[in-house]
Amino acid sequence: MKKYDVIVIGASAAGLVAAITARRHYPKKSILVIRKEKLVPIPCGIPYAFGVVGTPEKNLIPADDTMKKNAIDTVVDEVVKIDPKAKTVTGASKDEFGYDSLVLATGSRPVIPPFPGVNKKNIFAIQKDVPYLETAIEAMGKAKSLCVVGCGFIGVELAEECRRRYPDLKISIVEMLTHCLQLVYDEEFCVKAEETLKAENISLSLDEKVESLEGGEYVEKVKLDSGKEIDVDIVLLGIGAKANTELAKDAGLEIGLTGGIQVDRYMRTSDDSIFACGDCAEKVSFFDGKPSALKLASIASMEARIAGANLFSTHRVNMGVIGVYSTVIGDCAFAAAGLTKAQAEAKNYHVVEGVAESINRHPGCMPGGEMLSVKLLFEVGSQVIIGGQVNGAKSGGELINAISACIHQRMTANDIATFQTGTHPALTASPIAYQLVNAAEVAIQQMSA
């Protein structure tokens, strides 16, 4: 048996970053990464393998090269047992490795609801597995009618990418909520997204639940609880994900309220020698410290940087998850950070919003000019920002990261209205019309009224 100072299980957004962070903070420690998959997909790029990227093989994390560059050993094997007392892990190959500190980055698995007929052929969940995705894409190429179940980010991106790749394909989306992307955006942004999807000849069945998946050996119909039936050749399930915690449970580690591995603010589990990060780990909200079910690659990498830094001494603290999202629907960016108005009110915040819209160049005739709308949400008493949404020009995909930083630093409306921005005619809106600043000013005006 070979012993390492650090073993990381998993090599996606959390595992890879945890290993690299450990190497940076503890340059003399020996580090091993064990991963189940020979090829590791980029999680956020999976929908695009169905479209513009072309194949799952073009959507890969360069795990081996990255490990080699950072002097990190790697083994492709499935860990089947952790022995916390002996501080060992055992692979399906029967190989055994010892550790001083262990990081669990085992990720998540897609939610597959128990719909009657869900096991029929040509029904695919979005698994982070290259051969499985290849099979799904091969089936897609033979299909004439697709139904996507779930109208969150994955569902919307899958539908759009399939539309681009298969222009004659009949595409439907079924969503149980009233609006697509409702868990992320306020209603006006959701409506804009729906209008774009409908313009692309994507049929939306909103406020509908799947009752069953009908057919023989292969799926042929999606039956909804309203009685409506959708003829299909293939179904993609984009409903969400659940933490992959089997190893942790078998090792006796504590599991949290949302089903993730329970961790503290330093990403330690109930065993002081074992850390967890990414989709497999339990999370709490940045805003109220309550359990959160958010699962994002950006959160996974943040947690990994905390876990990797804290393996042998405490350097970093997790302040909770904010939730930062972005996507492109049509040619328009949709991005959000923090709480929506509905979420804030559900947490009993008294809120005010400020909205500002302007072209993202100055003068507006500069090449590349597009409209960009910014909506900021503030808690009235403290005037601290608790949420923001962006819609329009693709530059909004980076602006939402600045908004997230404002939320993380608990900046007030006045802080945002008066902080110094860099602007340039070919890159940004005019400093006079800068959307982020003006949205804060609008909110201040309302709070002063």
Q: For 269-314, write each residue's pLDDT tens digit.
A: 999 999 999 999 999 999 999 999 999 999 999 999 999 999 999 9
Topology of domain 331-448 in CATH is Enolase-like; domain 1 (3.30.390)
Q: How many angstroms separate the CA atoms of 85 and 87, rounded?
A: 5
Rounded CA separation 353/445 (Å): 10
Question: Using an 8 Å Cβ cutoff, are 417 and 434 in contact?
Answer: no
Between the alpha carbon of residue 317 and those of residues 267, 309, 313, the distances in Å are 8, 10, 12
Query: What is the CB neighbour count within 10 angstroms for residue 393?
Result: 22
Location of structure tokens 């969400």: 240
Span 2-108+242-309 CATH architecture: 3-Layer(bba) Sandwich (3.50)
What is the three-class DSSP state of 312?
coil
Paired with 384 in beta bridges are: 412
Q: Tokens 């982070």 correspond to what residue?
A: 128
Outline which parts of the chain fall under CATH 3.50.50.60: 2-108+242-309, 112-239
Q: What is the pLDDT of residue 132?
A: 96
Q: Show Cβ contacts of residue 286 under 8 Å, excluding neighbours closer than 6 positions.
A: 319, 320, 321, 322, 338, 407, 408
How many helices (H) does the chain have, and how many strands (E)?
12, 24
Name the residue among 241, 277, 269 with its Cα closest to residue 253.
269
Residues 225-269 pLDDT 10s: 999 999 999 999 999 999 999 999 999 999 999 999 999 999 999
pLDDT of residue 448: 84
Cα separation, 213 vs 217, whole angstroms:
11
Closest CA to 95 of 79, 106, 83: 79
What tens digit of pLDDT does each residue of 65-100 get? 999 999 999 999 999 999 999 999 999 999 999 999
Residues 432-444 have a mean pLDDT of 96
Query: What is the CB neighbour count within 10 angstroms for residue 376?
Result: 31
Decide if domain 112-239 falls under CATH 3.20.19.10: no
CA dist 44 → 29, 56, 110, 298, 445 (Å): 31, 12, 14, 10, 39
Q: Write the single-letter amino acid at 376.
A: L
Query: Which residue is listed with tokens 């979005």?
Result: 126
Q: Supply 447's token pair.
A: 């709070």
User: How much is the average pLDDT of 48-62?
Assistant: 95
In the predicted model, what is the mean pLDDT of the chain? 96
Please, how many CA atoms are within 13 Å of residue 362, restricted to the half-sphere of its CB? 11
Q: Look up tokens 């072309």; give the residue.
A: 54
CA distances for 84 relative to 163, 273, 429, angstroms: 49, 8, 55
From-to residues of CATH 3.30.390.30 in the chain: 331-448
What amino acid is encoded at 222 in this protein?
V
